[in-house]
Amino acid sequence: MISLNELTKTYGRGADSVTVLDRLNFEVGAGEIFAVTGPSGAGKSTLAQCINLLERPTSGSVVVNGEDLSSLPEKRLRAARRRIGTVFQSASLLSRRTASENIALPLEYLGVTPGEIRARVGELIDRVGLGPKAHSYPFQLSGGQAQRVGIARALALRPAILLADEATSGLDPDTTSSVVELLKQLRTDLDLTVVFITHEMDTVRQIADSVARLERGRIVETGALVDLLTDHGSPLGRALQPRLRFAAADDDAATWYVTYDSADVPGDWIQRVSVDLAVPVHLLGASVETVHGINTGSATLGIAAASDDAVRAVLAKYGLSGTPDASRETGVGGAPVSPVRSGAVPALEGAA
């Protein structure tokens, strides 16, 4: 378990000082994956460095399993760092060492005997599914394989906390999914507490139990992933929705952007909305996913000749929220297929 209590990091002094992290609080339990997201410059890297104790917080604390690591003297800090394994964006492997030899590094630094190192490395390399690549050099590994080596290395000292700092950034979607699946499996098998820092919302949807959004050094919103995805009023929930492209509506129809607001939206909701309104409803685009067992996502509909209030009421009946005239909001429309992007989440254009 890790908790951050009023964690603050200020660089510089006096008039030139910059507070990069401002009184952050959160707690992540064993077996939980907590994602921290936010735009460039929000303070994500600084947060990662404070969590893995490469930087000391200016005030506040980082507490792991009841012990305040941030206030330890330098000597004890070195030992405390072993409780937190870090996976970085690029696996940053030593090019002249094989996969196994890279994983062995932290054990060698600690003076573990060669026999124990061999056994532990063998176990780790199997755990990350890289047995056949044990003796390959980094240049012989794909990006995903190198990242698996990085994960195994981060686990070498049996940490309680795994910190992933943009660990999937730069990987293609399939490789990202396989690394995400591996991390989920590891947290279950090893009861790890995972702090997953990323700017990729698609990855957050795949991996997180809970999410916090960092902006200008402050946590502006946090919650369980499922709650956020079903909360139409949540800017973070909207930013987490999959991006959607949609076709143009007929001339006599209004374009509606509709989001799932409830865990109980019926599968045939479009048909039901059409029957209740007694008008044709055309599906122009949709992106729906099952996250933690509930359907979530959004759809763009063309709805002919119905009042906005009537549409809203019928949508609400099925656990949905709607915004009319999505095409006008986005400044697109007319084209056969147009990106909705910021129109769906105007406050979060460019949001990470």
Ligand X SMILES: Nc1ncnc2c1ncn2[C@@H]1O[C@H](COP(=O)(O)OP(=O)(O)OP(=O)(O)O)[C@@H](O)[C@H]1O
Binding site for ligand X (CB under 6 A): 11, 18, 20, 38, 40-46, 199
Residue with Cβ nearer ligand X (11 or 109): 11
Least distance (Å) between residue 40 CB and ligand X: 3
Least Å distance, CB 18 to ligand X, is: 5
CB of 59 to ligand X, least distance (A): 16
Phi, psi of 183 (to 5 degrees): -65, -40
Strands of 38-192, DSSP E = 59-64, 67-68, 84-87, 161-165
Handedness of CA 202, 212, 157, 86 (dihedral sign): positive
Using the minimum distance from each CB to ligand X, give the nearer residue, 6 or 191. 6
Residue count (the chain): 352
Q: Which is nearer to ligand X, 38 or 60 (CB)?
A: 38
Nearer to ligand X, 49 or 255 (CB): 49
Element (H, E) at 102: helix 99-109
Cα gap 245→233, rounded to integer Å: 22
List, in sequence order, every beta strand (DSSP E) within the chain: 2-11, 18-28, 33-37, 59-64, 67-68, 84-87, 161-165, 193-197, 210-215, 218-224, 245-247, 253-260, 281-291, 294-304, 320-324, 337-339
As a whole number of angstroms, the distance between CA 125 and CA 139 comes to 17
Provide the minimum distance between the beta carbon of 217 and ligand X in the complex, in angstroms, as a whole number: 7
- Closer of 9 and 133 to ligand X (Cβ): 9
| Per-residue b or e along 193-207, where b marks 16 or more CB atoms closer than 10 Å to that residue's CB | bbbbbbbbbbbbbbb
Q: How far is the CB of 68 from ligand X (least distance, A)?
A: 22
Over the Cα atoms of the chain, what is R_g? 24
Residue 43 vs 159, nearer CB to ligand X: 43
**Cβ at position 170, least distance to ligand X in Å:** 13
